[in-house]
Amino acid sequence: MKLKYFYQQFISHIGVILVAFLVLSLLVSHYIERAVYENKVDELTTYGENILGHFENTLLGRERILNQYSSVLHDRGIQFAVFDERSRILYAGDWFITSITLTENEWSHITNGQTVVVKHDIKRFNQEVSFVAIPYFENGMFVGGILMTSPISGSREMISDMNQFLWYAVLIALAVSLALSGLFSKLHVNRIKKMREATSLVSSGDYSVRVPSSNFDEIGELAKDFNHMVEKINSSMEEIQRLENRRRQFIADVSHELRTPLTTIRGIIEGLRTDMIPEVEKEKGIQLVNQETNRLIRLVNENLDYEKIRSNQVSLNQVDLVLEEAMEVIKEQLSIQAEEKGNKIVIDVKPDVHVYADYDRLIQILINITKNSIQFTSDGTIYLRGKMSESFTTIEIEDTGVGIDPDEVKKIWSRFYKADISRRSNPYGEFGLGLSIVKQLVQLHHGHIEVMSEKGKGARFIIQLPFQDNVKN
């Protein structure tokens, strides 16, 4: 049988409160009883010492003094008797007592000058009393003493009254504790129920749910962690959805990009096979087949490169290179594509600028970025710059093209991402992998890459590659 959390909390709280109150009541009752008896003993001792003081200072009329004290103390419920060294009663007032009944041990203490105190004696004097026996000496000789007694019935009544008030206080406190315990238990249960409902919603796929959180207690901190977890899951699911959308777009792009050149190749081959293409057009058709074949190879290589880099299957052969020579290669290879769009490539780097990199991969990085700049620039300029600092070489590729929207800047490094959907038929960076490959290669060189751009004001890619001595092992 399951016991609900509310009842578990309520029972545990009440159990602790009951035990605490019980222990506290016993301790307080014991303390009160002890205090009352000690107060009574102190009172008896004080009166006894006062009587002996007057008795010692008065040689004549001692009995009159004793009678006065007896009259006064009788109204307070206190009786006393004066006894000699043989325990015989010399004076007892109206108290009917013929001899004191002290034990041998108590009498031994009296004769040695010690006061005997008994807080609670049961019927030694035909009733329950507290008593004090005080010795009396003359000229250093023990000559007797005084026995002060008081019934404990009055003390018991006072203790009983105080205990009664104590129990009233306990009952009131218990009632308040029950109410507070029930309130807090219900509050905690409601908070846990909200978390349980939120968990059910998350398990059903709703990642927008949140629960009230605070730093007040552990449940509030748990709610805070729960919200953080849901936010992480939500972000992960959004990322998964984005990747899924990109994957679908990737499949569509692959189908489109492969279908176009394959259709062209098949058409030309069919025309050549059936002599549908005139002799003067055959050479042009063969060149077109060659171009489309190279395009297919480029598409396949780009995807293979990304997978190799992502799975750490690429090894670098880094050497010290002259940056200007690498940039001249880029300018020579891409000059035709740049001229087709009315662009020109300008190199701004000193001959003594060196870079520590893998030559083939450096060329791949520069080509991918430069192609990207050419693609989004018309009748403009692409600048290739380079300089050295104390610990790394900085390479900048800047264009005067259309720029990148601020919302797109952080996304351009993502796999399959395309900032412009019109790029589907473009022969460079067909699958949105070019810049993703660039970033992976820069990171393999232990470098850093960033892009600075404003819409309509071009883009500037900044690459920093460390020198050989600063490369992390």
What are the CA-CA distances from residue 275 to residues 231, 242, 280, 303, 461 (Å)?
65, 49, 12, 36, 50
Give exposure, 341-350, as e/b (b: 16+ Cβ within 10 Å).
eebebeeebe
The structural architecture, per CATH, of the domain 218-295 is: Orthogonal Bundle (1.10)
Tell me how far apart the alpha carbons of residues 65 and 331 are, in angstroms, rounded to a whole number: 133
CB 357, CB 445: distance < 8 Å: yes
- What residue spans define the domains of the chain? 5-157, 218-295, 314-470
**Mean per-residue pLDDT pooled into runs of 10, the chain (473 residues):** 56 73 76 79 89 77 82 85 87 77 86 85 68 88 89 67 74 77 75 81 80 72 82 82 75 69 82 81 82 76 67 78 92 88 93 92 89 90 93 93 78 58 40 72 90 86 88 59
- pLDDT at position 23 is 78
CB 379, CB 401: distance < 8 Å: no
**Assessment of whether the complete model's pTM goes beyond 0.75:** no
What are the CA-CA distances from residue 53 to residues 18, 45, 185, 251 (Å)?
52, 12, 66, 117
Residue type for position 280: V
- pLDDT at position 427 is 40
Angle in degrees, CA 424, 430, 431, rounded to 5: 95
- pLDDT at position 3 is 47
CB 179, CB 13: distance < 8 Å: no
Tell me how far apart the alpha carbons of residues 374 and 379 are, in angstroms, rounded to a whole number: 10
Tell me how far apart the alpha carbons of residues 186 and 317 are, in angstroms, rounded to a whole number: 68
Structure tokens at 388: 């050295």
- pLDDT at position 420 is 47
The number of residues in the chain equals 473
The structural architecture, per CATH, of the domain 5-157 is: 2-Layer Sandwich (3.30)
Equal fold, 218-295 vs 314-470: no
Tell me how far apart the alpha carbons of residues 382 and 343 are, in angstroms, rounded to a whole number: 7
Q: Tell me how far the alpha carbon of residue 176 is from its chain's centroid.
A: 34
Structure tokens at 375: 């693609």
Strand partners, 141: 138
Tell me how far apart the alpha carbons of residues 432 and 424 are, in angstroms, rounded to a whole number: 9
What are the CA-CA distances from residue 98 to residues 69, 92, 129, 439 (Å)?
20, 8, 17, 115
Cα atoms in the 13 Å half-sphere on the side-chain side of 217: 6
Smallest CA-to-CA distance from 402 within 455, 361, 362, 467 is with: 455
CB 82, CB 89: distance < 8 Å: yes
Does the domain spanning 314-470 belong to CATH 3.50.50.60? no
